[in-house]
Amino acid sequence: MSTILITGATSGLGRHLAFELVRSGHVVLAHGRDPGRTERLVEELRTEGDAEAFVADLASLTEVRELGARVADARPDLDVLINNAGVGAGAPGTGREVSADGHELRLAVNYLAPVTLTRALLPVLRANAPTRIVNVGSVGQDPVDFDDIEFRRGYDGFAAYRRAKFALAAHTFTLAEELAGTGVAVNVLHPATFMDTGMVREGGFAALSTIADGAPGVLALATQDLGTGGYFDGTSRARAHEGTYDREVQKRLAAVTDQLLAL
């Protein structure tokens, strides 16, 4: 059985995954932003199995790095990282928001945070190989604008969300190549379309699927050997936006990501 860190575990898909995994006998490390909600979740999970709480605000890269250090220190047996936490498009008409570090909020939480957390935990994951990284992406992907990476011009929350998910997919493919032969698999998936979550409802969208519909794809990637460098739509292999496979785009994204994380 594996030791699995799930970000954004206190609601929606993350919460559902936490219960599914703990009931299957895995050790669940549940991340949340709110200390009370995270502790209450872990109390519930412990009635089913082994769980531990980790609190951090992913809108702060300092807190993300500290989260990685705490997990690595407390659970050097970590086998699986599920980068599930995210912020949606926001309520209709919501203007551009920024993170604690001044980055556009969707870029910060949906892209820079999982990249930072993954980097912090890679030494542990490499040491414990075979291990897995599962990035919860979206079928909604728009190419990033390298001339306006922070989306200061013509801002739109849904477009910002899609750009961050494009970046996450492209990053996944680059990282999979870097980690080839190490035993660390990294994949990205679109779990299900417009699941019945607070994020979807806040955006003013009607739910088209249940949270349970989104779970099988994530669970499969977290618990089975399905190769590396793949994009999945639910449990099916699929193709991400063609631009995410472009070598030049991947190189530029890697360079700009390093710049953003060095700020």
The residues that are catalytic are 161
Q: What is the DSSP string of 152-168?
A: -SS--HHHHHHHHHHHH
32 Cβ contact partners less than 8 Å away, ≥ 6 residues apart: 8, 9, 10, 38, 41, 53, 54, 55
Q: How far apart are CA 218 and CA 57, in angstroms?
A: 23
Query: 146 forms bridges with which residues in the sheet?
Result: none
- Structure tokens given for 222: 């977290």
What the block records as the tokens of 170 is: 């492209």
Q: Are 229 and 186 in contact (CB under 8 A)?
A: yes
Pairwise CA distance, residues 131 & 198, whole Å: 31
